[in-house]
Structure 1
Amino acid sequence: MGSLLSEIRRNPLLWMLAFVPIVLIAEKAAPDAHTALFVLAVLAIVPLAALLSHATEAVAEKTGDAVGGLLNATLGNLTELIIAVTALHAGQYMLVKASIAGAIVTNSLFMLGASFLLGGLKYHVQEYNRAGGRLQSGLLLMATVALLAPSAVADLDLAHGEVVTQKLSIGLAVLLIIAYALGLLFSLKTHKELFASEQHGEAEAPWPIGLAIGTLLGVTVLVALVSEIFVESVQKAAETFGMSPAFVGFIIVALVGAAAEMAVAFSAARKNRLDMSVSIALGSASQIALFVAPVLVLLSYVTGPKPMDLQFWPGAVTMVMVSALTASFITNSGRSAWFIGALLLFIYAIFALTLYVVPPGSAA
């Protein structure tokens, strides 16, 4: 417990944990104050995501490289997954799909671009392992092609088109999960030497395994409770702020869910550990596309009011495709400077502005 309290004291981001009891009490006291609950839920999820990330890393430290890598891969996006499952249960499929597409775009453009920019402002040119970037951007590009297929079938206007789309989505979900597993096998087992990066500085002392697992379980429950408040209040709050559900899912949910990972990626870039930044940004994006999205499709048959498919609105597919192609092109050189990061951030800003001006309910 001392390690946990020490981490909270030294990390200003974790001071925001005070918002967790505040939002839980506010939800009981004023359940109709949707805008206030939305803001409080966002402020509460950010430190919970940071604590979840730290606990996951501590557990991974104790399990060895292969299992640790698998844990980081499967638990790294747990915040986004919990929010998406909560929205899935509530039948808010637009929010779910927007959060999936938004997480891919946010990680591959905003997180990667900001890492390049922050690192480039301190170092003239930075280098990183091209093999890791190529693998993750290749997986991301393949997953994007899978997202194009249901939209293409929908445009054919087939008889029983919805049934065809559902069957196709199930098949694609299974294929994506298999590709995800093979990618882990390739990078963590058969060809792990290609993805080794030089370590700089001393690693922090990990938490005791009991504390890490206890924190992981406790924070997961709290994230689930706060996510429920977030999903219940998001629609009314979006109307108050003049935002479409697509913007909320694509931008707000993605940024909130990835806050902890961003803090680690940005810090690593400033320490000239760009390998770690690229791995976090593109690894998280490919995990969302290859694991979280297909798992949500399969879960919708159990927890949703009706099955969810992988048919995204055309704008989302276009943005994800552009992000995947851009990430693939950028990471091909293995070198970066601040202006490359600025360009990625401008592309992300263009997408965000486009979604913001779209009237609520018009993107589907």
Structure 2
Amino acid sequence: MVDFDSTKYDDRDTGRGLRQRRPFGRSTSCPPSTTGRWNDVAGNDLLSPTNTYQSGDSGSKPNISASSAAAEEVVDIPEPFTVANQLRRVFFSSWLNILLLAAPAGIALHFAQFSAAPIATFVVNAAALMPLSVMLSFATDEVALRAGNTIGGLLNVTFGNAVELIVSIVALLQHEIVIVQTALVGSILSNLLLVLGVAFLLGGARRSEQHLNRTAAETAAGLLAMAVAGVMLPTVFDLASSTPAATIAHISRGTSVILLIVYGAYLVFQLRTHRDLLTDTMVASTTKPKLHATVAIALLVGSTSLVAVCAEFLVESIDGVTEKLDVSREFIGLVLLPIVGNVPSLVVATAAALRNHADLAIVVTVGASLQVALFVLPLVVVVGWGLGIDGMTLSFDVFQVTLLFVSVLLVNFQITTGRTYWLSGALLIQLFAIVATCSWWYPSDDTKSA
């Protein structure tokens, strides 16, 4: 029997240590025992550094003989939980965890008094959010393994974009509407253009083309179009009429509820009715818990709390950064904050594409964008509704809506063909560079701050 058990990679940082996202929304598409590593249909660990098998290369197969496979007997004895292996799995699950030292430093800098304190606070807390997002994802996976299919899926939906959600709510509580809107739009753009572009470029450089699950790609394209419509229509309505702000708020809240229903319907479509159709090219391997249940829950609570603290101090330092560096708030929201939050996604998507698994790159990037557009963004509008903040609406800046429309249009053209090339990635990266260039000189619109 050939052992493809993912536990042999317990202490490696290429899989569970990085921020995993499930098919189109980071929610698990498999039973509760299969919420771990992503494998291909043969069971090969997609992100293992020892896996050199390329599923898309002509004639290449796993180097395993049938006779030795039949003769091999593997006795799987679970390793007991100890203090040593729990600490090792928590703090050495990813190379990004070295930046955890930035968390206490960022908190200390918040209370420091010197001229460059806002810039230092922003940079250090932004660095701290990268490993914290990895740790939060790891803890969510561990808790979801024990929670069952439905609850596990809900946990992944809730905490899949926890960093973006927490940063947005913290900024919303400080009435930083511009930062909220630009950060959420920027998260979508960063995943669709920068992360996916780098994955396609590097993956395509090794081969003439890469193939995609066309059904999943077309489904994602339709959902992306729906997400853009949910933002574009309230914005155009606001610009084309003299409707009072209160009415725009009502329209945005109603649209947000509809978008949440759309996302819920898609989860049912993905997890229940058409699960095999959307995941026919890859499945998740059976993964055993790496952490004790109490440790996993404590890690989830602790990492979430640290994300909230670092996010609050980061948002509070933005005013000082814009004054001292003379950069626009749009540039910070559209470019800097999303890059910080999407570094783990960049590593996972690129590693998958290099191993000729472009489908997984789509899962990581487009799935995260869909969750932000159909879940996080409307949820933040609903939260603003509950807090009585009428300025938090789906009426965005025309510049931001145009960026969304053009980006989704280009991405849909690239993925619905069922194949990608290195040029596809180059085009996406170049569009992101144009976005960053325009954002640098785009004037802030403080009139939207409530």
- Relative to the length of structure 1, the TM-score reads 0.92
User: Structure 1 residues 330 and 249 mapped into 2: Cα distance closer, same or farther (>3 Å)?
Assistant: same
Matched with 2:97 is 14
Distance in 1 separating the partners of 2:126 and 2:87: 22
Q: Please give the secondary structure, in 2, of the residue aligned with 1:175.
A: helix
1:40 paired with 2:135, answer no
Matched with 1:223 is 307
Matched with 1:116 is 200
User: Structure 1 residues 196 and 21 mapped into 2: Cα distance closer, same or farther (>3 Å)?
Assistant: same
User: Structure 1 residues 135 and 210 mapped into 2: Cα distance closer, same or farther (>3 Å)?
Assistant: farther
Matched with 1:173 is 256
**Residue type at the aligned position of 1:318:** T
Distance in 2 separating the partners of 1:200 and 1:123: 23
Matched with 2:273 is 190
Please point out which of 128, 153, 171 is paired with 1:87.
Answer: 171
1:71 paired with 2:171, answer no
> Conserved in 1, the CA contact under 8 Å of 2:178 and 2:445?
no
**Residue type at the aligned position of 1:213:** I
Q: Please give the secondary structure, in 2, of the residue aligned with 1:29.
A: coil
User: Which structure would you say has the larger RCO, counting Cα contacts within 8 Å and 6 or more residues apart?
Assistant: 1
Please point out which of 251, 254, 271 is paired with 2:338.
Answer: 254
User: Residues 2-45 of structure 1, C-alpha deviation per residue, up to 9 Å, x if partnerless?
Assistant: 24434533632110000111111222333872111111111111
Distance in 2 separating the partners of 1:353 and 1:247: 9
Q: CA deviation at 1:205?
A: 5.5
1:270 paired with 2:375, answer no
> Conserved in 2, the CA contact under 8 Å of 1:84 and 1:96?
yes
Q: CA deviation at 1:240?
A: 2.1
Q: CA deviation at 1:329?
A: 1.5
User: Structure 1 residues 7 and 338 mapped into 2: Cα distance closer, same or farther (>3 Å)?
Assistant: farther
1:334 paired with 2:418, answer yes
User: Structure 1 residues 299 and 201 mapped into 2: Cα distance closer, same or farther (>3 Å)?
Assistant: closer
User: Structure 1 residues 331 and 105 mapped into 2: Cα distance closer, same or farther (>3 Å)?
Assistant: same
Q: CA deviation at 1:304?
A: 6.2
> Conserved in 2, the CA contact under 8 Å of 1:53 and 1:261?
no
Q: Please give the secondary structure, in 2, of the residue aligned with 1:48.
A: helix
Matched with 1:242 is 326
User: Structure 1 residues 132 and 106 mapped into 2: Cα distance closer, same or farther (>3 Å)?
Assistant: same
Q: CA deviation at 1:305?
A: 4.9
Name the stretch that deviates more: 235-244 or 35-44.
235-244
Structure 2 gaps of 5+ residues are 1-82
Structure 1 gaps of 5+ residues are none
User: Structure 1 residues 289 and 199 mapped into 2: Cα distance closer, same or farther (>3 Å)?
Assistant: closer
Q: CA deviation at 1:311?
A: 0.5
> Conserved in 2, the CA contact under 8 Å of 1:200 and 1:273?
no
Distance in 2 separating the partners of 1:238 and 1:16: 25
> Conserved in 2, the CA contact under 8 Å of 1:147 and 1:310?
yes
Q: Please give the secondary structure, in 2, of the residue aligned with 1:20.
A: helix
The count of aligned residue pairs is 363
> Conserved in 1, the CA contact under 8 Å of 2:178 and 2:446?
no
User: Residues 194-252 of structure 1, C-alpha deviation per residue, up to 9 Å, x if partnerless?
Assistant: 11244489777542243332211110000000001000001211232221111111111
> Conserved in 2, the CA contact under 8 Å of 1:126 and 1:335?
yes
Name the stretch that deviates more: 69-78 or 201-210.
201-210
Rg bigger for which structure? 2
Identity %: 33
Name the stretch that deviates more: 239-248 or 64-73.
64-73
> Conserved in 2, the CA contact under 8 Å of 1:27 and 1:229?
yes
Q: Please give the secondary structure, in 2, of the residue aligned with 1:207.
A: coil
Distance in 2 separating the partners of 1:278 and 1:317: 22
Matched with 1:55 is 139
Q: Please give the secondary structure, in 2, of the residue aligned with 1:25.
A: helix
User: Structure 1 residues 339 and 62 mapped into 2: Cα distance closer, same or farther (>3 Å)?
Assistant: farther
Name the stretch that deviates more: 43-52 or 8-17.
8-17
Q: CA deviation at 1:135?
A: 1.7
Q: Please give the secondary structure, in 1, of the residue aligned with 2:102.
A: helix
**Residue type at the aligned position of 2:376:** V
Matched with 1:156 is 240
User: Residues 41-85 of structure 1, C-alpha deviation per residue, up to 9 Å, x if partnerless?
Assistant: 111111111111222233334445555444333321110110010
> Conserved in 2, the CA contact under 8 Å of 1:97 and 1:312?
yes
Distance in 2 separating the partners of 1:225 and 1:86: 9
> Conserved in 1, the CA contact under 8 Å of 2:221 and 2:412?
yes
Matched with 2:294 is 210
Please point out which of 433, 440, 447 is paired with 1:356.
Answer: 440
User: Residues 331-364 of structure 1, C-alpha deviation per residue, up to 9 Å, x if partnerless?
Assistant: 1122122221111101111111111122445896
Distance in 2 separating the partners of 1:74 and 1:135: 22
Distance in 2 separating the partners of 1:4 and 1:31: 36
Distance in 2 separating the partners of 1:295 and 1:31: 38
Please provide the CA RMSD for this pair. 2.3
Distance in 1 separating the partners of 2:435 and 2:302: 36
Distance in 2 separating the partners of 1:55 and 1:185: 24
User: Structure 1 residues 250 and 172 mapped into 2: Cα distance closer, same or farther (>3 Å)?
Assistant: same
> Conserved in 1, the CA contact under 8 Å of 2:259 and 2:374?
yes
